[in-house]
Amino acid sequence: MATPRCTTTTSQALYRVFIAPYLPKQQPRPRPKLPSTYLTRSLTTTSRLHALHRAKAVPEQRRELWNEEITAKVIHLIDPATNTLLPRPQTRYDTLQTLNLETHRLIQIPGQFHPEDKLPICKIVSKAEVFEAKRRAQAEAKEKKKYEGAAKTLKTLELNWAMDGNDLGHKMGKVREFLTEGRKVEVVLAAKKRGRKASLEECEGVLKRIRETVEEVSGAREAREMEGKVGGFAKLLFHGRPLHRPSAAAAATE
């Protein structure tokens, strides 16, 4: 069995024993500090979306000053019971002392000052009433937007002059539904290429049924005269009921 060769020379051994111990030890080089921007946790897709959403979310801006934000020490206060100014000015401090700030707040009405002493005009509002009014306004805006979108949508229904009573009734139900939603409805009438052809009396009956259905929807109307001919290809256009501002009751059920 061959013995392993020693690769250490005599000079290397002498260097380690007599010279190396007296040399100054090399200090470890400090690692450069990274800027704090590089030390932040990398964002995942979800966290990037949340960060983007937070950046876009602009806090609601308001014009009114609330409570201690009002700088005037003396104010004119609107009487909540009569909605008129109290006869004498009030101090802001005393007014706030009488309020339950959990349920009410004092607000300064923007741009309104007493004509004589130029003191700001303020009023006390209920937080619950303000919240309910805002919720109701948002519900009404949502409802109005929904109906406005429906009004721009054109629905097309295809009928034939020889359609039986059941099928015609189903189609008229659709006409009524779309017109009630405020949509525009186009009714296209044509004769069957194959099968029985409707008589003139039947065709006039179909037209009468369509127009009676439209009359059942309050505010719906025929937009223009029929195009085409009875018994052949014809088109009718109807506009749905006019859009009204939704009532508070409708908004409450939203």
Is 226 found in the same domain as 162?
yes
Is 157 found in the same domain as 125?
no
Is 167 found in the same domain as 227?
yes
Is 162 found in the same domain as 116?
no
- Lookup result for tokens 């409802």: 143
- Lookup result for tokens 């405020």: 182
Q: What per-residue confidence (pLDDT) applies to 29?
A: 56
pTM score, two decimals? Answer: 0.42
More confidently predicted of 149 and 238: 238
Is 161 found in the same domain as 125?
no
More confidently predicted of 39 and 7: 7
Q: CA nearest 178: which of 151, 158, 140?
A: 151
Residue 138 maps to a domain? no
Most trustworthy range by pLDDT among 34-38, 162-166, 194-198: 162-166
Is 168 found in the same domain as 96?
no
Rounded to whole angstroms, the Cα distance separating 118 from 183 reads 53
pLDDT(200) > 80: yes
Q: What CATH number is attached to the domain comprising 109?
A: 3.10.20
Under the banding of pLDDT at 50, 70 and 90, the label for residue 124 is very high
Q: What per-residue confidence (pLDDT) applies to 123?
A: 94
pLDDT(131) > 60: yes
Is 114 found in the same domain as 184?
no
Residue 225 maps to a domain? yes
Q: Which tokens is 196 given?
A: 């029985």
pLDDT(73) > 90: yes
More confidently predicted of 185 and 12: 185
Q: What per-residue confidence (pLDDT) applies to 153?
A: 80
Residue 227 maps to a domain? yes
| 170 Cβ contact list (under 8 Å, min separation 6) | none
* Across 184-194, average pLDDT: 90
Q: What CATH number is attached to the domain comprising 195?
A: 3.30.110.10
Q: What per-residue confidence (pLDDT) applies to 186?
A: 95
Residue 202 maps to a domain? yes
State the chain's mean pLDDT as an integer: 80
What is the span of the domain harbouring residue 174? 153-239
How many C-beta atoms lie closer than 10 Å to residue 16's C-beta?
A: 11
The structural domain count of the chain equals 2
